[in-house]
């Protein structure tokens, strides 16, 4: 299953390095799983819900502005949380509603067993007040396809992580992540 875990990136306890702090917590919890057996590409990034709720307003022939549409935003959020197909969801709706005007950081596992996903969800719910919940990604949903087209960061194989880089330029290596 492809599962995405969501976090309030603007939570004061995370500071400015929210991605690093969230990944560190999640990987620490993952390593504590007794029978860890995982082989998955991991994608991380911000969930761009607000971008989908913008509309183009033409000012003149070559000029336009993008305006946020609150009604469209409600539809976007609805399609994100309740896609057309039935999916596993462990979203904490009270936290989600409080966070919709904030940045949402996502860690998505391309392949993860349900038992491990539920363990991560349970542990994150207990240990992090900035955790918003997990949801199965519906690859048939345009909304999910767009939202979860985030950057691949590394591959996990049990207790080994391989960090992605382009293999051409040494400048593209993320030494901080290493």
pLDDT of residue 164: 66
**What tokens were used for 54?**
């913008």
Please identify which residue in the block is written with the tokens 């409080």. 98
pTM (whole model) above 0.85: yes
- Domain that residue 103 falls in: 3-172
Residue 178 located in a structural domain: no
pLDDT recorded at residue 46? 94
What domain count does the chain have? 1
Query: Does residue 56 fall inside a structural domain?
Result: yes
Residue 90 lies in a domain: yes
**C-alpha of 95 from chain center:** 15
What pLDDT does 150 receive? 84
Asked whether residue 177 is domain-assigned, the answer is no
Beta bridge partners of 89: 135
* Cβ 33 vs Cβ 159: under 8 Å: no
Contacts of 22 (CB under 8 A, 6+ apart): 7, 9, 14, 105, 107, 130
**Per-position pLDDT tens, the chain of length 178:** 999 999 999 999 998 889 999 999 999 999 998 888 899 999 999 999 998 899 988 888 888 899 999 999 999 999 999 999 999 999 999 999 999 989 999 999 999 999 999 999 999 999 999 999 999 999 999 999 989 988 888 888 887 777 766 566 666 555 555 4
């Amino acid at each position: 299953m492809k599962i995405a875990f969501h976090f309030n990136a603007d939570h004061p306890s995370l500071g400015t390095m929210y991605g690093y702090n969230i990944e560190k917590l999640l990987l620490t919890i993952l390593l504590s799983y007794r029978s860890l057996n995982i082989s998955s590409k991991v994608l991380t990034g911000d969930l761009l819900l607000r971008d989908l709720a913008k509309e183009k307003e033409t000012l003149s022939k070559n000029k336009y502005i993008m305006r946020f549409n609150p009604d469209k935003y409600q539809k976007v959020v609805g399609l994100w949380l309740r896609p057309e197909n039935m999916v596993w969801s462990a979203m904490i709706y009270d936290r989600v509603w409080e966070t919709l005007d904030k940045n949402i950081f996502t860690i998505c596992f391309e392949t993860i067993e349900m038992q491990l996903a539920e363990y991560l969800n349970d542990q994150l719910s207990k240990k992090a007040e900035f955790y918003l919940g997990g949801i199965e990604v519906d690859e048939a949903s345009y909304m999910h396809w767009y939202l979860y087209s985030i950057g691949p960061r590394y591959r996990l194989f049990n207790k080994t992580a391989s960090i992605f880089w382009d293999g051409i330029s040494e400048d593209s290596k993320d030494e901080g992540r290493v």
